[in-house]
Amino acid sequence: MENNKKNLKNNSLKNKKDKPSDNFDWKRASKTSFVWLAIIFGAVYISGLLTEVGKKEIEIEYTEYKKFLKNNDISKAVIMGEKFYGEFKIPQSLPNKLGNQLDGISHFKLTLPFIDRKNTEEWDAAGLEYTFKEQKIDWTGYLLNMLPWILLLGFWFFMIKRMQGGAGGVGGIFKFGKSKASLWTSDQPRVTFKQVAGCEEAKEELKEVIDFLKSPKRFQKLGAKVPKGALLVGPPGTGKTLLARAVAGEAGVPFYSLSGADFVEMFVGVGASRVRDLFEQAKKSSPGIVFIDEMDAVGRQRGAGIGGGHDEREQTLNALLVEMDGFDNTHNVIVIAATNRPDVLDPALLRPGRFDRQIVVDAPDVNGRLGILKVHTKNVVINHRKVDLLAIAKGTPGMVGADIANIVNEAALLAARKRKRSVDMDDFEEAKDKVIMGVQRKSMILSDEEKKVTAYHEAGHALVAIKTKGADPVHKITIIPRGRALGVTMQLPMDERHGYTRDYVEGRLGILMGGRSAEMLIFNEMTTGAGNDIEQATQIAKKMATEWGMSDLLGPMTFGKKSEEIFLGRDMGSSRDYSETTARMIDEEVSRIVRDAQRLADEILRKEIDVLHHLAKELLKYETIDSKDLKIILEGKNLTRPINAKVSTKPKRMVKRRAKNNILDKKKNNSVVKTEKSEAVKN
């Protein structure tokens, strides 16, 4: 155990040194880039200024040199090897190589074929002052000429380093094959199983893995082998990644975590190299745990891609399969992976010996949601006298841990916005409505006609739901626009449902068509408000006919084989395995089921038309009606609560201060009035 801690500490230090920074500061990088560009242009400009003197020096022909020497136009000269650098007594006008006339030339140079005594006699005869110097390398000139290129190369290396996240220039190119896994260390925030609620079975399965890592001899005495891997399967937001973090907090062994997308890069072979490097690091500090999030990004079934069997993703998967259960399987490295698409994973990855356990992390039940609420409200200041967590848990069926955490956070934000000292039940109800139904669109103003149509539409939904046997109770009705809907009728089931009867599904279809039936019954016209209802009803009716076997005409059969093209998402399309006659029968059956649902809604609303008018009238008056108000309306009574009653959300101290200020203001006003009256009497 002590060796594991030492290895964990050493690996964490190494990981901190080697791991590139993920937070790329674009603002800083842009500023640095501008600085580099300014340096480059400045260097080019300075180089031009320094070589400005060279513009006054021109290379001339030998015949021109003889002419200037004969006319005594040359005053000085420096001879370096076979090079003759001369200076004119008076600046000359000479043509350059392009034939353009240059004025003010004071220096020139040329290459002499040889230098002997005859040349020196000519220079002496012309009265020329000349000196001989040893030829040296002009390093300054070389550096000035090379400076712009050096700066360009430096800027190029700088940009490569930035693109690699600080990997370090050319050396960083060879680090592409290194694993990007982050190593959990003891100084990081720790998550334990006490902070995970709603998935007790999954916790028990993972506790066995942790116990094996902590005391393997207890299991090995009985001949048990360490499980190679555990696959966490479940919908998004159920807490798969949180469970893995809890394993890291409980295990006390090296824990490497990364995403499936971190393996694959634009370069071929990088993914497989990273897999090998990851397991090499884990084996050095074994026993250890490797956690791969979003496993479907790298573990999809092979042979379905456009690139055949040699694409980058498949090479990465092959390397992963070998590392998990290859020839060398002596190291105690357990792989934990999480995915919400187990159906697209390769069968070789799911077999025992690689992922021995598939742990389902499903949506929590009432007790699970209550436990999640207790975990998330632990650090929230709530009013325990008014807040009933069990009622909130019962009112959030089908929600996962992420949804419940969002409701708690929204309730705390609402309470803080209203300047409350604690979070009340009203805040939780408002937050729940916001998450389920959407945000109130107060800026959207509806005309009186639109409000009336929306009120009857939602009243139709609610009334059909109330009169349908076995339907979920109506929780709330509102005609205030929320999200993309002009009105919402919200139902909450009393019990947890995992399977649905045919009567329940047909009743659900009738509730969906209740809005359109109310519009036709009252206004004798159709509106686009029922578009989403009809879409849902059509989908349910199609599943009844083709998947659930709930059609008397078609019988207990399924139609339409789902496509197995993993590259296209597997569920993106389906192939028809039935004839044109059967397709026509399916269409007719779907139409019949939806029309029967509408007829059922019509019958209920015609019988209860007085209740429909009463409910729509109260909706137009109060805009939002809950289950308590609905009970009063069904008894034939009118609602008596204040319209849009607002509760004071200011703290009591502020209210008292404001009341005192109002009393003082009244006293001041009375004294001013009295003085004005006395002055008027005097006048």
Report the topology of domain 21-163.
3.30.720
- The domain segmentation of the chain, as residue ranges, is 21-163, 182-360, 366-437, 448-634, 650-683
For strands 624-626 and 574-575, give the pairing: unpaired
Q: Shortest CA distance to 545 belongs to which of 493, 498, 509?
A: 509
Chain segment 393-450, per-residue pLDDT in tens: 988 888 899 999 999 999 999 999 999 999 999 999 889 888 888 887 877 778 889 8
From the candidates 458, 506, 589, 618, give the one annotated as an active-site residue.
Answer: 458
CA 16 to chain centre: 24
> Who has greater pLDDT, 667 or 73?
73
Name the strand (E) or helix (H) holding 90. strand 83-95
Chain segment 342-390, per-residue pLDDT in tens: 888 888 888 888 888 889 998 888 889 999 999 999 989 998 888 999 9
Q: Where are the alpha helices (DSSP H) in 236-311?
A: 240-251, 270-284
Q: Note the residue count of the chain.
A: 683
Q: Shortest CA distance to 619 belongs to which of 509, 510, 518?
A: 518
Q: What global pTM score does this model have?
A: 0.65
For strands 129-133 and 83-95, give the pairing: unpaired
- The alpha carbon torsion through 601, 607, 610, 616 (nearest 10 deg) reads -10
Assign 560 a pLDDT band (cuts: 50, 70, 90).
confident
Fill in the DSSP letter of residue 326: S
> Who has greater pLDDT, 155 or 580?
580
Q: Shortest CA distance to 181 belongs to which of 322, 326, 288, 310?
A: 288
Mean per-residue pLDDT, 493-514: 88
Chain segment 267-296, per-residue pLDDT in tens: 556 778 888 888 888 888 777 888 898 888
Chain segment 293-340, per-residue pLDDT in tens: 888 888 888 775 554 445 677 888 888 888 887 666 567 788 899 998
Report the topology of domain 366-437.
Helicase, Ruva Protein; domain 3 (1.10.8)
Asked if 182 contacts 256 with a C-beta cutoff of 8 angstroms, the reply is yes
Name the CATH superfamily, with its identifier, for domain 448-634.
Answer: Peptidase M41 (1.20.58.760)
The two three-digit tokens of residue 178, written as one number: 């290194």
> How far is Cα 517 from Cα 601, in angstroms, rounded to an integer?
6
Mean per-residue pLDDT, 82-99: 77
The two three-digit tokens of residue 42, written as one number: 């400045």
CATH annotation of 182-360: 3.40.50.300
Most confident of 178-182, 525-529, 536-540, 572-576: 536-540
> How far is Cα 136 from Cα 207, in angstroms, rounded to an integer?
79
Residue type for position 424: D
Asked if 274 contacts 240 with a C-beta cutoff of 8 angstroms, the reply is no
Buried b (16+ CB within 10 A) or exposed e, 293-317: bbbbbbbbbbebbeeeeebbbbbbb
Torsion angles phi and psi, residue 372, rounded to 5: -65, -40
Asked if 498 contacts 452 with a C-beta cutoff of 8 angstroms, the reply is no
Chain segment 162-221, per-residue pLDDT in tens: 655 444 444 444 454 555 555 655 556 678 888 888 888 888 888 888 888 788 788 888
> How far is Cα 229 from Cα 182, in angstroms, rounded to an integer?
19
pLDDT of residue 598: 94
Distances (CA, A) of 383 to 377, 458, 584, 652: 11, 34, 60, 16
Q: How many CA atoms lie within 13 A of 656 on its CB side?
A: 3
pLDDT beyond 90 at 156: no
Fill in the DSSP letter of residue 382: B
Share of the chain above pLDDT 90, in %: 22
pLDDT beyond 80 at 100: no
Torsion angles phi and psi, residue 485, rounded to 5: -105, 145
pLDDT beyond 70 at 113: yes
pLDDT of residue 272: 81
Residue type for position 126: A
> Of the ranges 35-49, 316-330, 453-467, 472-486, which one carries the lowest mean pLDDT score?
35-49
CB proximity list for 332: less than 8 A, separation 6 or greater: 213, 216, 226, 286, 287, 288
Burial of 85 (0-12, 13-18, 19+ CB in 10 A): middle
Mean per-residue pLDDT, 663-678: 41
The residues that bridge with 108 in the sheet, in sequence order, are 58, 86
pLDDT beyond 70 at 11: no
pLDDT of residue 5: 47
> Of the ranges 141-145, 331-335, 642-646, which one carries the lowest mean pLDDT score?
642-646
Mean per-residue pLDDT, 469-475: 89
Cis upstream peptide for 287 (omega within 30°): yes
Q: Any catalytic annotation for residue 458?
A: yes
pLDDT of residue 197: 86
Most confident of 123-137, 194-208, 324-338, 645-659: 194-208
